Amino acid sequence: MKSETFFSQRIFPLIFMGAVTVVAITLVTGIYLLTEDQVLRNELLFERQAILDAAGIEFDPDDIERVYEQRVTKENGWYSVQLPDDERGYVISIIGAGLWGPIEMMLGFYEDLERMTGIAILSHNETPGLGARIEQREFTEQFRGRSGPFEMVDEGTAEEDHEIDGLTGATRTTVAVGEIINRGVRNAPDTVRGE
Amino acid sequence: MENSMIPVAVFFAAVFTNNILLTNYLGMCSFLSVSKDLKASYGLGIAVTFVMATTSAINWAVYTFLLEPFNLEYLRFIVFIMVIAAFVQLVEMVIERVSESLYAALGIFLPLITVNCAILGVSLFMVIRDYDLITSFFFGLGSGLGWFLAILSMAGILQKLKKARIPRGLEGPGITLIITGIMAMAFMGFSGILTIG
Amino acid sequence: MARGAAKKTFLKPLGRDNPVFAQILGICSTLAVTGKLENTVVMCIGVIFVTTFSEGTLSLIRKWIPARIRMMVETLVIATFVIIVDIVLRAFYPDIWRQLGPYVGLIITNCIIMGRAEAFALNNPPGLSLIDGLASGLGYSYVLIVIAFFRELMGTGQLWGVQILGDWWTNWTIMVMPAGAFFMLAIFIWVVKGVFIQEEQHGK
C-alpha cells in the first residue's frame, strides 16, 4: 500500500492548488486585458445613448456615435443638445439615493428648462422585477413633454399632467426616483445658466 | 451625493422587503431540501446567518484593501468564494475542537453552506451597491436572518401540511415552491412599513 | 462501444435524470432572470459553457487532484470559467450583462455544476465528461426557458422584447415578480411529474 508521506499529505496539495490558481488567474487576466478596451468603449457608448434618450432624439443603435457627434456638445457639467426640430435642449446628469443604492440618470429639457424631453436611467440597484422597472420605456416615457415638479401616484391612476404612474410593489423606489427627478428639475436652471 | 442608506434601514429591508430568498431568489437549494426538517432548519438557519454576516465583513475588507487598490476587481468571484470556503472550513475545524455537541448539531451543515448561493450573493450585492463596512455587515446579518425566517416559516408550514392530502405530482418540491410563492407575495406586503427620512 | 456510451451519457440528464426535476438543483441563479426570455437564453448558454468545460477540465486532471482539497479545486475551476463568461458578456453584450447583474457570478454556486463534477467528471474520461456537461446544461436550460417563456409572455405580453399579445391582455404583473417564478416552476414540476406518474402506472 502506498504510504502517505509528509510530502503527499501536506506539500503536494499546496503545490497543486497553487499551480491551478496560477493557471486560472493567468487565463482570466489574459481575457480581461484583451477585452478591456471594448469594455471602456461600451461604457462610453452607453452614456451617450442615455443622453440621446433623455433628449428624446431617435437614433439607430448602430449610429449612436455619429448622431451624438452631430447633436451633442459637452459643456461644463451639462450637455447642450440640438433637438430634432432644430430647437435647443439641455441634458444634465444627476445622481441620488435610491432604495438600495445610488440611482444615476440623465434628465433632458427643452430650452425653457421647464418642459422635459425625457429621462434615461444610467444605473441603479433596485429590485429586479419591482424597482428595476424604472428603466423601462413605459415608465421613462411619461416624462416626455411634461413639466415638473412631479407627483408619483399609484400605478395606473395618473390623470393630471404633473402626476406620474409609480410602480406597484416598488413604492420606496418610486418615491426615491421622484425626489431625485424633482431635485433635478429644481436645479436645472442654475446648473445650466447660473454658475 | 447624499446616502440615506443607514445600516439599520438596510438591515430591516434585507430581512423583510428585500429578502434574499423571497425577493432575490437566492439560497433555494438547501432551503428546499432542509425545510422538511424543523430542527435541521433551525440549525442551518443559524449557521447561514453567522457565515453570511462574517464573510460579508471579511470580503468587504478583502475587496477594499486587496482588490480595489490593485485594480483586480474582476477576480472577485474567485477570491470571494475562496474566502467563504476557507472560512467555513475554519469554522468547522474550530467547532470540532471546541464543542462536541455543537459540532454534532451543526457540523453537517457547514459544507452545505459553502455552495449556498445566498452567501456569495450577499458579497456580490455588497460590492455592486458600494456599501461601507458597517452597512455590509448589517446587510449580511439581515440577509441571513431573513433567510432563517423564510426557512423556519417553511418548515413550520410543512409540519402542518403533513396531515394534508396533496396531489401526487406536487408532493415535495412542488408544494414547497407554491408555498414559497405565497410567502413571497406575503412579504411584499411589508414594503411601506419603514419610511426613511 | 464508445459510441454507445457517449449517446447514453448525453441522453441521461435530458430525461428522467434531469437534475432540475430530480433534485430541484441549481435554480437560484437563473430563476432570477427568467422574467425575460432573452436574458434566460444568454444565462443558459453561460451555464452550458461553464458546465461543459469545467467538467472537461476537471476530468482531465482528475488523477492528480489531492482528495483533501477536492472541493476547492472544483470551485476554483468552475469560478474561472464563470469569470470568463462574465468578462466576455461585459465586453460584447453590455446591455444584457447589465441586466443579468450579479447572477452571472452566482453560476459558481450552481449546485448542478458542482454536483455533476463530483458525481461524473471525477470518475470519467474527459470525452464523456464534456458530453455529460453539455447534456446537463441543456437539460437545465430547457426547463428554465419554458418558465421564462410563460413568465415574459404572461407578465408583459412580450416575447424576446417583441409585443405578441395585444391590448386585450392585462399583464399578469405577478409573473414579473419572484412569486410568479416560484409558481411557474411548481406548475412545471407538477406537469412533468404527472407525466412520469402516468408512465409508471401504465407499467412502462
Q: Identify whether A168 is part of a domain.
A: yes
* Segment B68-117, tens digit of pLDDT: 888 888 888 888 988 888 888 888 888 888 878 777 777 677 777 877 88
For residue C103, give the chain B residue with the closest CA. B121
Does A12 fall in a domain?
A: no
Nearest residue, CB atoms, B191 vs list A97, A128, A171: A171
Q: Where are the alpha helices (DSSP H) in chain A?
A: 6, 12-54, 64-71, 137-140, 171-193
B63 against B6, higher pLDDT: B63
Residue B2 forms part of a structural domain: no
Nearest CA in chain C to B30: C25
C-alpha cell at B127: 460590492
Q: What's the average model confidence in pLDDT over B155-179?
A: 84
For residues B56-71, average pLDDT: 89
| Reported pTM | 0.80
Q: What is the pLDDT of residue C23?
A: 56
Tens-place pLDDT, residues A102-140:
889 999 988 888 888 989 998 887 776 678 788 888 888
Per-10-residue mean pLDDT of chain C, 204 residues long, equals 69 64 67 85 92 92 83 88 91 86 82 82 86 87 88 83 78 81 86 75 64
Confidence of residue B3 (pLDDT cuts 50, 70, 90): very low
d(CA B86, CA A99): 33
How many domains would you assign to chain A? 1
Is B197 inside a domain boundary?
no
Give the model's pLDDT for residue B196: 41
- Residues in chain B closer than 8 A to A101 (CB atoms): 5, 128-131
Residue A4 has pLDDT above 80, yes or no: no
Nearest to B1 among A25, A102, A125 (CB): A102
Question: Is the CB of C76 less than 8 angstroms away from the CB of A169?
Answer: no
Between positions 14 and 33 of C, the ones with CB within 8 A of A are: 32-33
pLDDT-derived band of residue B152, with 50, 70 and 90 as boundaries? very high
- Name the grid cell of A65: 456615435
Q: Quote the pLDDT of residue C16.
A: 56
- Residues of chain B contacting residue A36, judged by C-beta atoms under 8 Å apart: none
* Residue of chain B whose alpha carbon sits nearest to that of C198: B169
Nearest chain A residue to C72 by CA: give it: A17
Asked if residue C18 belongs to a domain, the reply is yes
Residue A29 lies in a domain: no
The CA distances from residue A80 to A43, A44, A70, A143, A188, in Å, are 20, 17, 11, 19, 13
Check if C161 contacts A (Cβ < 8 Å). no
Kindly report the length of chain A: 195
The residue segments making up the domain with residue B33 are: 7-188
Contacts of A22 in chain C (CB under 8 A): none
Q: Does A30 touch chain B (CB under 8 A)?
A: no
Rounded to an integer, what is the distance from CA C35 to the centroid of its chain? Answer: 15
Is the omega angle on the peptide bond into residue A149 within 30 degrees of 0, that is, cis?
yes
For range B1-29, the mean pLDDT:
76
A24 interaction partners in chain B (CB closer than 8 Å): 78
Residue A128 located in a structural domain: yes
Could you write out the DSSP letters of every residue in B12-38?
Answer: HIIIIIT-TTTTT--SHHHHHHHTT-H
pLDDT band for B155, please (50, 70, 90 cuts).
very high
**Residue A113 backbone zone (phi > 0: left; psi -120 to 50: alpha; other: beta):** left
Distances (CA, A) of C198 to B48, B134, B148, B166, B167: 39, 55, 37, 17, 13
User: Which range has the top average pLDDT, B50-54, B123-127, B184-188?
Assistant: B50-54
Q: Are B19 and B146 in contact (CB under 8 A)?
A: yes
Task: Please state, in angstroms and as integers, the Cα–Cα distance from residue B187 to each residue in A123, A169, B191, B192, C186, following that order.
Answer: 26, 11, 8, 11, 19
Mean per-residue pLDDT for A34-40?
A: 88
Residue B104 is assigned to a structural domain of this protein: yes
Shortest distance, CA B122 to any CA of chain A (angstroms): 13
Give the count of domains, chain B: 1
Burial category of B42 from C-beta neighbours within 10 Å (exposed 0-12, middle 13-18, buried 19 and up): middle
Amino acid in the structure at residue B93: M
Name the least confident of A65-79, B154-168, B180-194, C147-161: B180-194
DSSP C157: S
Taking 90 as the threshold, does the pLDDT of residue A62 lie above it? no
The answer to whether A29 contacts chain C (CB < 8 Å) is no
Q: Which residues of B touch C183 (CB under 8 A)?
A: 177-178, 181
- Who among C73, C80, C95 is closest to A28 (CB)? C80
Best residue in C76, C86, C103, C170 for a mutation probing chain A (most A CBs within 10 Å): C76
How far C162 CA lies from chain B's nearest CA (Å)? 26
Min distance A143 CA to chain C CA atoms (Å): 21
What ipTM does this complex have?
A: 0.78
**For residue C174, what pLDDT is reported?**
81
Angle at C149 between CA C145 and CA C151, to 5 degrees: 115
Please state, in angstroms and rounded to a whole number, the distance separating the CA atoms of residues A67 and A46: 13
pLDDT at B2 over 50: no
State pLDDT tens for residues C41-86. Answer: 999 999 999 999 999 999 998 888 887 778 788 888 999 999 999 9
Q: Return d(Cα C96, Cα C82) in angstroms, integer.
A: 16
Contact assignment for A25 to B74 by CB distance below 8 Å: no
| Residue of A100, A104, A154, A174 to mutate, testing the B interface (most B Cβ within 10 Å of its Cβ) | A100
- A-facing residues of C in 86-105 (CB < 8 A) are 87-88, 90-92, 94-95, 101
Q: Looking at this protein, which amino acid is placed at residue C108? A: I
| A31 in any annotated domain | no
C129 is a domain residue: yes
The answer to the question of residue C88 being in a domain is: yes
Query: Looking at the 3D structure of chain C, how many domains does it have?
Result: 1
**In chain A, what residues touch C66 (CB-CB under 8 Å)?**
8, 12-13, 16
Express as a percent the part of chain A with pLDDT over 90: 9
A142 contacts A165 by C-beta, under 8 angstroms: yes
Q: Which residues of chain B have a CB within 8 Å of the CB of A32? A: 74
Which range marks the domain in which residue C50 is found?
2-151
Give the nearest chain C residue to A125 (CA atoms).
Answer: C101
- Find out whether A126 and A120 touch, Cβ atoms under 8 Å: no
Cβ-defined contact of A100 to B24 (cutoff 8 Å): no
Rounded Cα–Cα distance for residues B6 and B23 (Å): 21
CA distance B152 to chain A (A): 24
Model pLDDT, residue A195? 46
